[in-house]
């Protein structure tokens, strides 16, 4: 498997072998695993394992390491999917909307999509009233938005940050 990288990294390709793939699968499940434990699990010496992890980071395959927090425990249990249609999806209008959404901490994802709509947002809120305030202040008042629809998520049956890594 080769990996090409964009996202602000210098373009390049590195070859991922079976050990690299095993390292990536393990780190996706537990990024805090000690290097010694990781090395033991994949059958490498700790220095060789650390060298591989550093190479994967430098190549941009491992973009960053984060803690996944519980939205409910932090007071933001409500997840709303918002679909936005712009008046005119010009480059300027799109950049303006993207900048505005990037500045809002409650917007946890802003996706540019193809099809009948232009954007999908995932928005965290304390409750429906809190979301409604967001919709009125941010979405209804935003210049350039033709329409938006909101769907409150009742249950999340699957959520993962893991990227499939082939085993062959």
> Is there a contact between 139 and 80 (Cβ–Cβ < 8 Å)?
no
* Domain 2-58, CATH: 1.10.10.10
82: DSSP letter: E
3-state secondary structure at position 164:
coil
Average pLDDT, the chain: 92
51: which 2 tokens?
A: 């060298």
> Is there a contact between 78 and 124 (Cβ–Cβ < 8 Å)?
yes
What are the residue ranges of CATH 3.30.70.920 in the chain? 78-152
Please report, rounded to a whole number, the percentage of residues in the chain having pLDDT higher than 90.
Answer: 89
Averaged pLDDT for residues 128-133:
98
CATH architecture, range 78-152: 2-Layer Sandwich (3.30)
Exposed e or buried b for every residue in 108-130, given b needs 16+ CB within 10 A?
eebeeeeeebbbebebbbeeeeb
What are the residue ranges of CATH 1.10.10.10 in the chain? 2-58
> Is there a contact between 124 and 106 (Cβ–Cβ < 8 Å)?
yes
Please choose, from the candidates 134, 152, 150, 148, the residue with its C-alpha nearest in 3D space to the C-alpha of residue 85: 148
With bands split at pLDDT 50, 70 and 90, how would you rate the model's confidence at 45?
A: very high
Per-residue pLDDT reduced to its tens digit, 62-86: 999 999 999 999 999 999 999 999 9
Per-residue pLDDT reduced to its tens digit, 2-37: 454 444 444 457 899 999 999 999 999 999 999 999
19: which 2 tokens?
A: 């050990």
With bands split at pLDDT 50, 70 and 90, how would you rate the model's confidence at 166?
A: confident
How far apart are alpha carbons 43 and 58 in whole angstroms? Answer: 22
pLDDT of residue 72: 96
Least-confidence region, from 10-24, 30-44, 85-99, 128-142: 10-24
């Amino acid at each position: 498997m080769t990996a090409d990288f964009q996202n602000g990294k210098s373009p390049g390709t590195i070859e991922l072998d079976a050990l690299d793939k095993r390292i990536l699968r393990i780190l996706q499940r537990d990024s805090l695993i000690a290097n010694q434990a990781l090395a033991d699990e994949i059958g490498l010496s700790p220095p060789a394992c650390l060298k591989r992890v550093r190479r994967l980071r430098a190549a941009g395959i491992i973009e960053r390491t984060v803690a996944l927090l519980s939205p409910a425990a932090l007071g933001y249990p409500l997840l709303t999917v918002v679909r936005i249609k712009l008046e005119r999806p010009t480059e300027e209008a799109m950049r303006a909307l993207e900048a505005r959404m990037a500045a809002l901490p409650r917007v946890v994802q802003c996706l540019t999509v193809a099809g009948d709509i232009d954007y999908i947002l995932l928005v965290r809120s304390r409750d429906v009233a809190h979301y409604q305030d967001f919709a009125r202040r941010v979405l209804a008042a935003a210049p350039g938005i033709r329409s938006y629809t909101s769907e409150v998520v009742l249950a999340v049956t699957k959520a993962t940050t893991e990227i499939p890594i082939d085993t062959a």
